[in-house]
Chain A
Amino acid sequence: MEASKIDRIVRQYGARESAILAILQDIQAEEKYLPRETLEYVSQKMRIPMVHVFRIATFYNALSLKPRGRHKIDVCLGTACHVRGGDKILDKLERDLGISVGETTKDKRFTLESVHCVGCCSLGPVAVIDGDVHGRLSQEKVPGLLKDFK
């Protein structure tokens, strides 16, 4: 990520320690993950030790140190989706994409992850693709779900 972009994000929140989580989230929203060089730059810029930045980056589920694909699929495995077969949606996605949960397809098209509840329990089983909720899923609906994403 270019230094000027990082500068802009840091300036928006101010180089306070309490802003670190929001800053890392904004960087991740643009880059899809947190590259090492970016974290080092943030550390110097905000005068926060790298080890502390790293502590934050590794604690929260929403932050990733690994590159991700163009589209991110989060399959909900919360209780309500679990009792309605959320794991079968995940199974089907793993089979169709040929990757396990937490991995990215070779062509960088999809990253497959699981989440614990997105709060749309009445629509379970649910998957979130790039922030859009897709509810009332079944294994048969999975191929149709993926075809619009390039």
Chain B
Amino acid sequence: MVCAGTGCVSCGSLQLRERLEAELKDRGLADEVKVVITGCNGFCAEGPIMVVYPEGIFYKKLTPEDVPFLVEEHFLKGRPVQKFLYTGPIVKEKVPLLKDIPFFEHQVLRALRNRGLIDAENIDEYIARDGYAALSKVLSSMKPEEVIQEVKTSGLRGRGGAGFPTGQKWEEGRRYDSFPKFVICNGDEGDPGAFMDRSVLEADPHSVLEGITICGYAIDAHQGYVYVRAEYPLAIHRLNIAIEQARNYGLLGKDILGSGFDFDIGIYPGAGAFVCGESTALMYSLEGKRGMPRIKPPRSTEAGLWSQPTVLNNVETFANVPPILLKGGQWFASLGTEGSKGTKVFALTGTVQNVGLIEVPMGTTLRKIVFDIGGGISDKREFKAIQIGGPSGACLPSSLLDLEVDFDSLDDAGAMMGSGGLVAMNDSTCMVDTARFFTDFSVDESCGKCVPCRVGLKVMLNILNRITTGQGTMEDIDLLEQLGKHIKSSSHCGLGKSAPNPVLSTIRYFRNEYEAHIKEKRCPALVCTSLIKFRVDPEKCKMCGLCKKACPMEAITWEKKTPAVINVEKCIRCRSCIQACKFTAIE
């Protein structure tokens, strides 16, 4: 199994596959060993990844040049190649089996049940893993109302961010007697730092198609659309293949499985507008209009695409549907917390050791995610914050590491589940700058329709710019909080309603950093360049010369046994020296 998710492909996994197939053929092993290209395995940090079954031996960071040796040792002589195995983060031992690697050990795979196990471009492999069994069960033995009831029993809530109960949404979609109706799958995954939907679409497109079709049956719709970001070409490619195969197998199109139910699915590529992840904006975009949200109600379930009843769910939500119908809502609800059932897929990134895609039961603590699965903070740095929910989420401090993550607990902490991006930040991250970064993003992506979001966010950004350049006042903090609350309560859509969250949460949890910027004109993490002196402290300087090497402008003079000196005239304030210095000697 060679991983061919976008991450591993960009590290050369396709070249690896070619070389592997050629080598196996040369050695006469082509009939015994089958090379399968899978979707994202999840452990992207170690790519390109290869897993050899039946044993489940996990190889990492392979190059085509490694192949002859690997084939010789593993496939001919039958011994795992030590140097390509994964090394444990704490006990420095080789871990040959995938299931023993801490990154995988703590995960429970439901939405990602087929990841790394099947060839995403081959429908037979999906079917072999119970694929389309749920659809066949639904069409042959269940009434639409029963399907909806099962989804309600499961307690599944929308995985796109807001967490609306899926069963309830379907019920509403069914209730309105206006035809045609539509099902839309939202794959416009715009949150920076999130790639769950991309990975699901790349690794297991059929599970999403099956979920959409089941939803179509439940609400009596005959047409579905998948709206995918144009930034995900591989996902679009694999979806196209999957739809074609499903049509050939009679799993899409007229009279599916002889049941008399007709349903088809089309793909619609987005064009780089974050706001189109909002349901009503997405529907306008599908209609060929500007993707700008409208006021609700009416909800989309009453008047959605072309003003017809429409059920819109996220990619991960649909991927969760087939096993619910196959194994029952009770089974699904057996995991998770009171208000949030099942599992959640997170994209764990930032400055942790093991970045990648993970799936854990709802209610797992942040500490377990960051330290047990993520392997802790990389580069021997300290944990500072975890950012959850993208630009609509919040930065949570270490005091909240024991928070059990579900929809409601995050809400209470001033954060949001969002689509599931988790970005770990170490002590070299400035929280004011992070708040500024997200506000800048939201200003950029605001569609401009309503005043609080269009103007209010811009004003917030101006204030943050003042603070990060040393011109802030203490009143600015109050003003930010006031503005943030107003924008949240008076904006049209989810983008504006949540855009102040990064600012409000950093003020709530990291107020001291704002105060340092304002009162002391100092950026504690040395990120805001206007507040850095770019001066070497001769007391702290260990005269190693690393800063001189790192400087792109040759602005640093240094000789052995003398402290370095930065020539401020030449310096372009790029911070290369600060990152190179191991002794925090530059201030």
Contact B189 A119 (CB under 8 A): yes
- Interface: A80 (CB within 8 A): yes
Contact A139 B290 (CB under 8 A): no
C-alpha gap A62/B188 in the complex (Å): 14
**Chain B residues, Cβ within 8 Å of A134:** 10
Shortest distance from the beta carbon of B557 to any chain A beta carbon, whole Å: 21
- B372-396 near A? 1/0 per residue, CB < 8 Å: 0000000000000001001000000
Contact A79 B355 (CB under 8 A): no
Contact A132 B10 (CB under 8 A): yes
Shortest distance from the beta carbon of A119 to any chain B beta carbon, whole Å: 4
Binds A, one of B241-249, B281-289, B408-416, B490-498: B281-289
Contact B355 A60 (CB under 8 A): no
Known: A116-B190, A132-B10. A60 touches B45 (CB 8 A): no
Known: A79-B390, A80-B350, A92-B552. A120 touches B7 (CB 8 A): yes
Contact A123 B193 (CB under 8 A): no
| Interface residue range, chain A | 35 or more
Contact A120 B268 (CB under 8 A): no
**Chain B residues, Cβ within 8 Å of A1:** none
Shortest distance from the beta carbon of B556 to any chain A beta carbon, whole Å: 15
C-alpha gap A44/B290 in the complex (Å): 19
| Interface residue range, chain B | 35 or more
**CB within 8 A of B271: which of A16, A62, A88?**
A62
Contact A121 B576 (CB under 8 A): no
Q: Which of A22, A59, A80, A132 has the most B CB atoms < 10 Å from its CB?
A: A80
**Chain A residues, Cβ within 8 Å of B514:** none
**Chain A residues, Cβ within 8 Å of B176:** none
**CB within 8 A of A117: which of B191, B270, B351, B426?**
B191
Closest B residue to A116 by CB, please name it. Answer: B192
**Chain A residues, Cβ within 8 Å of B313:** none
Contact A121 B355 (CB under 8 A): yes
**Chain B residues, Cβ within 8 Å of A22:** 268-269
**CB within 8 A of A80: which of B189, B193, B269?**
B193
Known: A17-B287, A25-B269. A124 touches B349 (CB 8 A): yes
Contact A79 B273 (CB under 8 A): no
**Chain B residues, Cβ within 8 Å of A59:** 273, 290-291, 447
**CB within 8 A of B274: which of A18, A24, A116?**
A116
Contact B351 A83 (CB under 8 A): yes
**Chain A residues, Cβ within 8 Å of B47:** 122-123
Q: Which of B192, B230, B351, B575 has the most A CB atoms < 10 Å from its CB?
A: B192
Contact A79 B423 (CB under 8 A): yes
**CB within 8 A of B288: which of A20, A82, A83?**
A20
Contact A115 B231 (CB under 8 A): yes
Known: A83-B423, A92-B552, A95-B552. A120 touches B230 (CB 8 A): no
Contact A120 B287 (CB under 8 A): no
Known: A19-B288, A79-B423. A122 touches B349 (CB 8 A): yes
C-alpha gap A83/B232 in the complex (Å): 22
- Interface: A84 (CB within 8 A): yes
Interface residues of B in 32-66 (CB under 8 A from A): 44-45, 47
**CB within 8 A of B351: which of A24, A55, A56, A84?**
A84
**CB within 8 A of A18: which of B232, B233, B288?**
B288
Contact A18 B190 (CB under 8 A): no
Contact B44 A122 (CB under 8 A): yes
Closest CB pairs A-B (n = 6): A78-B192, A122-B44, A61-B272, A60-B271, A119-B195, A133-B10
What are 28 inter-chain pairs, A to B, with CB distance below 8 A?
A: A18-B286, A21-B285, A21-B288, A25-B269, A56-B288, A56-B290, A59-B273, A59-B291, A60-B273, A60-B291, A63-B271, A79-B437, A79-B438, A80-B192, A80-B355, A80-B421, A80-B423, A83-B426, A95-B552, A116-B274, A117-B190, A117-B193, A117-B195, A121-B193, A122-B44, A122-B47, A123-B7, A135-B7
Taking Cβ atoms with an 8 Å cutoff, the residues of B that contact A are 6-7, 9-11, 44-45, 47, 189-195, 198, 229-233, 268-274, 285-291, 347, 349-351, 355-356, 387, 390, 421, 423, 425-426, 429, 437-438, 441, 444-445, 447, 552, 574-576, 579
Other than the known A60-B270, A85-B579, what 10 A-B pairs have Cβ atoms closer than 8 Å? Answer: A21-B285, A56-B290, A79-B421, A83-B426, A119-B229, A120-B44, A121-B355, A121-B421, A123-B44, A132-B10
Taking Cβ atoms with an 8 Å cutoff, the residues of A that contact B are 16-22, 24-25, 55-56, 59-63, 77-80, 82-85, 88, 91-92, 95, 115-124, 131-135, 139
